[in-house]
Structure 1
Amino acid sequence: MSTHIGAEKGEIADRILLPGDPLRAKFIAENFLESPRQFNNIRGMLGYTGLYRGARVSVMGTGMGMPSISLYAYELIRYYDVKKLIRIGTAGALNEKVHIRDLILAQGAATTSRIIQKDWPNLDFPPIADFNLLYKAYQIASERKCQVHVGNVLSVDLLHSDFIQENLKLGQYGVLAVEMETAALYYLGAKLGVETLAILTVSDSLVSQETTSAEERQTSFLEMMSVGFEAIISE
């Protein structure tokens, strides 16, 4: 048992999907896993382990923002020996080629956060995905004919800020979308030597003002969940 996760050693699989919303974790467990068992409810951050196509997989919420995902991902890796972590979450499009409900595989993550910079004050450490997970996810998404984009995202500390125009300019530089967790997850993956990936569904657009409902974000976006499961069990 760690400080923020109530599981005993062995109750969490060595591969895990990480939605931000704990209720999305519950939905995923109930709809994708065989015989799911809840291993965590501390602070309402629900976590479950079960079988997906015969493979043991866990799913747990991480909350919103880089400090929150860093806390849970660190404890999962250090105290529960998790080796593969895939964030499955939502993002806001910054690029006119990206539309709501499209999938994004985050190849790298620019960030406004100082979480990485505090460790490396004299250089810009590039947070990037594990290539094997990225490649597998791209193959799976392509085979399923998903509308999928691969490229950079922007991870921010503040969702509501005065920097919308600057963010949109990054979209003109090819940055696909803005979200709040990926850079920190990728940095922990590099620091602790595990495989990490973010698979994102575009829930709204800062370019076109398209949007989706809160219920849709919680209980749909099934392509992202399915691609995540298939990628994480692929050897």
Structure 2
Amino acid sequence: MKEQTPTIHNAAKYGEIAKTVLMPGDPLRAKYIAEKFLENPRLVSDIRNIYCYTGTYQGKEVSVMASGMGAGSMSIYSYELFHFYDVDAIIRVGSAGGMHPSLKLRDVVVALASSTDNGYARHFNLPGDIAPCADYGLVSGAVDYAKAHGMSVRVGPVVSGEGFYYSDEWMKKWTDMGMLAVEMESAALYMNAMEAGKRAVALCTISDLMFNGAACTPQERQESFDDMILMALSLA
């Protein structure tokens, strides 16, 4: 709703944020994406150092805004974007820990659905359990891009954890249920998108393998991240 902007969390005025928003967790990654990939990026909000930039990519207006870490932060920013700034689609771009033994470092996981151990769903007062899911059109577009560019991509369920440090038993139980990877934000994002009648997808580069301790080098993380950003921008 135009009259509710700016918000206490976002200094942007209505109309200063594009209809499609790329959303990394890290504010510095938001800055990096804007400066490297967008034309004429302008900073429209920096409250709490959560940077939000708007620019153009191949002639189309795109915004990039950090979500911060975890469901609580994601739930606030994505809710405001969908409901107050009339954003149509949010594309999460981040990293994840690979849980499934078939995954390799630098694979990109497209989170088709997101299980969670957090309590955010209680806010919706549903008479049962919800299955937070991505928008099929965005999922399909990401897969098409990956095929066209020779990227290693996996599509499937992830688990969106409430914390960061987990026991081996926690990991095993979710892996046994078919979860590909673990991250922290996608379930809250998907629930907000579903409630608002909007679109969302989470794209996550596998930066660590939970089953053997392997991890990307800083250079590998950056190279893989760039490939994923180009995939996300193709969906804008």
Which stretches of structure 1, 4 residues or more, deviate above 3 A after TM superposition? 213-220
What residue is the counterpart of 2:213 in the other structure?
A: 209
* Distance in 1 (alpha carbons) for counterparts of 2:207 and 2:220: 9
- Return the match for 1:42 from 25, 44, 47: 47
Q: Deviations over 1:5-62 (max 9, x none)?
A: 0011111101100000010000000110000000111000011000100000000101
Deviation at 1:118, TM superposition (A): 4.5
Counterpart amino acid of residue 128 in structure 2? L
What residue is the counterpart of 1:178 in the other structure?
A: 182
TM-score (norm 2): 0.93
TM-score (norm 1): 0.94
Aligned residue pair count: 231
Output aligned runs, 1:111-126, within 5 Å. Answer: 111-120=116-125, 122-126=127-131
- Return the match for 1:63 from 68, 74, 89: 68
What residue is the counterpart of 1:7 in the other structure?
A: 12
What residue is the counterpart of 1:90 in the other structure?
A: 95
Q: Deviations over 1:187-230 (max 9, x none)?
A: 00100110000000011011121112467646751111010000
Counterpart amino acid of residue 165 in structure 2? H
What residue is the counterpart of 2:3 in the other structure?
A: none
Is 50-59 or 111-120 further displaced after alignment? 111-120
Q: Deviations over 1:69-110 (max 9, x none)?
A: 111011111221101100001100111011111000000011
Runs of 5+ consecutive residues of structure 2 not aligned to the other structure:
1-5
- Return the match for 2:84 from 79, 83, 96: 79
Counterpart amino acid of residue 204 in structure 1? D
Tell me whether 1:197 sits opposite 2:234 in the alignment. no
Report sequence identity in percent.
39
**CA pair 215-65 structure 1, distance change in 2 beyond 3 A:** farther
What residue is the counterpart of 1:224 in the other structure?
A: 228
